[in-house]
A and B are shown apart, each in its own frame.
Chain A
Amino acid sequence: MGADTHRLDLLRGMLRIRRFEERCAQLYQAEKIRGFLHLYIGEEAVAVGVMGALEPRDAVVATYREHGHALARGVDPGAVMAEMYGKQQGCSGGRGGSMHLFDAATRFYGGNAIVGGGLPLAVGLALADRLTGRRGVTAVFFGEGAVAEGEFHEAMNLAALWDLPVLFNCENNLYAMGTALDRSESQTKLTLKAASYGMPAWEVDGMDVLAVDEAARMAVESVRCGGGPHFLEFRTYRFRAHSMFDPELYRSRDEVENWRSRDPVESFKVVLMADGEIDEEAWVAMEEEVGAELDGAVAFAEAGTWEPEEELTRFVYSEVRR
């Protein structure tokens, strides 16, 4: 992957997530996907930019809006889609669904649907790296809603106190479900909270994949080299509803349109076109390539099988001693 293809890879990475999520919305309407479904549309630049800065030895802990993180981390799209369907070929064997994507091969530790619940886990993964002398980085993602949770503060303190290699990625999309940040926080400048634990904290334009890419690379490098935990706040926006049950009474159409004008996929495409790195023909080819991969993923999920009911009580306890 040379420097010349890096920017195209970023664009393709975002486009994959965008089209995947759009397909999920359709499949939800078609009742192929049930339960809660939280789409990442509008926030693609964050997952793509951060994951690109990580290595295979690093660990990722994500939230319930994590399809984009899983795809960007390299989890197979077919396995992710099969998981949405609840099929046993899914990346969590069908037991988790949309909010609980897991993949040991890419060190993707979920898929945690308790807001703030993944942060202590990330601290522990980093502690294990420290105690065993591995030079891994643990990247944990969470929304700005998590900063109201005690677990956020406890985990930030612990990571800083023990100087652990954790990269805290706060995806600030301004709303915790329907509650705006300024209606839930006395201090809305989130980097100040991180700074109070003595860790470097940067605010990053989460709609600009190059800005995310650059910040993530610097932060990961610093964390890996013993710089202790870092906190990145990505200013981003969710274009779609919180979940499939959200009438969006809490924000104005104008506000949504305003953010949509900064669409991370569209605006980066425009940049690459202006710089002559991609033309209309190449864009169409990229769309086709992404579409074909997605068709394959859906076909894989469709062809998947249901876990036999006799296996219901599996995975409560380990079946073999490890």
Chain B
Amino acid sequence: MTDVATETRTITYREAVREAIRSAMLEDDRVFLMGEDVGRYGGCYAVSKGLLEEFGPERIRDTPLSEAAFVGAGIGAALGGMRPIVEVMTVNFSLLALDQIVNTAAVYLHMSGGQFNVPLVIRMATGAGRQVAAQHSHSLEGWYGHIPGIKVVTPATVEDARWMLPTALADPDPVIIFEHAGLYNSEGTLPDQGAPVDLETARIRRRGSDISLVTYGGSLPKAMTASEELARDGISAEVLDLRSLRPIDTAALLSTVASTHRVVIIDEGWKTAGISAEISSRIAEEAIWELDAPIRRVCSEEVPIPYPRHLEEAALPQVDEIVAAARELMGG
């Protein structure tokens, strides 16, 4: 940090994503946005509102409800020299494009022996918490993290929402950006003069010495709230934001474990075969002797997400569960 006071401003996560898209389009003619309702409607989550008027329908390109075709077209356009940002409205609908993502985008560089890289950015909303029931509430970013050949990032702060995109666009390979739908209205401060951030490292969002809360995306605010509550009990919790699910920053994981010796993993995905299992496994494989207590996971219940508010809340990770898990590990 410099001594010079930098101007900062308050901005919503939604505005940060919009600013990132707009600025990328102003800087590079090869960048365009395509997806369902990104143009005239202004984006399902109003992210691209106003961009059609500024850039026109060729570069803010509304698509039919054809996820496989427009994600595949994004791959083809990337191969043809463009830098497409493909918006899939939500992760739920991305399942209709899985063939293109897994069988094409992730493997083209490999199958072609390094000849054809795919500089494609796919953005999609993920997560539950808005009473939109099972088919609109999936958290499947962990699935995507399973696939070699793509990079999977989960911006949880306005800074990452604003500055991961230019890095993703500069990347020669496919990057999927998961934006938790519950974060769009969240606010944060950004310096006026920001800079692109990396897509590989985890960040400590709160320093602590007693226990590590490891999380990402939409669960970060819950972990932060839990850490404040724990602080009132005299428990110093460190909050690690993974930021990326592929690659996973193993070094940062091991480092926080080495400093606190206790871990709670918070993930809106299900436990079984989920990303929390992978994180847990990496800690167990490489740092089990650092642990003073078993690893705990606070994840979604193993049910499809139900509609009624009380059941949805019961299904998702909540602050009190995180606090309870942490207290238990502290022996309290």
A: which residues have CB within 8 A of B?
59, 88, 90-96, 100, 102-104, 109-112, 114, 117, 119-129, 131-132, 138, 150-151, 154-155, 157-158, 161, 314-322
Contact = CB atoms under 8 A, between A and B. Distances in A.
B76 A92 contact: no
Contacts of B332: none
Interface string B56-75: 00100001101011111111
A91 B81 CA distance: 21
A157 B109 CA distance: 28
Given A95-B110, A322-B119, A131 B79 contact: no
B99 interface: yes
Q: Which of A95, A117, A127, A151 has the most CB of B within 10 A?
A: A127
B75 A121 contact: yes
Most B CB contacts (10 A, CB to CB) among A94, A125, A317, A321 go to A317
Contacts of B114: 93, 314-315, 318-319
Interface of B: 32, 58, 63-64, 66, 68-82, 84, 99-100, 103-104, 108-117, 119, 148-149, 151, 170-173
Given A114-B99, A131-B32, A154-B64, A120 B113 contact: no
A125 B76 CA distance: 4
Nearest to A93: B113
Contacts, number: 158
B79 A125 contact: yes
Looking at A103, A125, A321, which has the most chain B CB atoms within 10 Å of its CB?
A125
A322 B117 contact: yes
Q: Which 4 pairs from chain A and chain B are nearest by CB?
A: A124-B76, A120-B72, A93-B113, A128-B80
B78 A94 contact: no
A140 to B, nearest CB: 10
B174 to A, nearest CB: 10
A157 B68 CA distance: 12
A112 B105 CA distance: 12
A165 to B, nearest CB: 11
B78 to A, nearest CB: 7
A162 to B, nearest CB: 8
A124 B75 CA distance: 6
Q: Which of A129, A158, A314, A315 lies at the interface centre, i.e. has the most chain B CB atoms within 10 A of its CB?
A: A315
A122 B72 CA distance: 8
Given A96-B112, A102-B113, A154-B69, A122 B76 contact: yes
Contact of A96 (B70, B113, B170): B113
B109 A317 contact: yes
Contacts of B148: 316
Contacts of B32: 131
Given A104-B115, A316-B149, A318-B109, A157 B69 contact: yes
A120 B71 contact: yes
Given A121-B76, A131-B82, A112 B104 contact: yes
Contact of A157 (B64, B112, B170): B64
Nearest to B63: A158
Contacts of A104: 112, 115-116
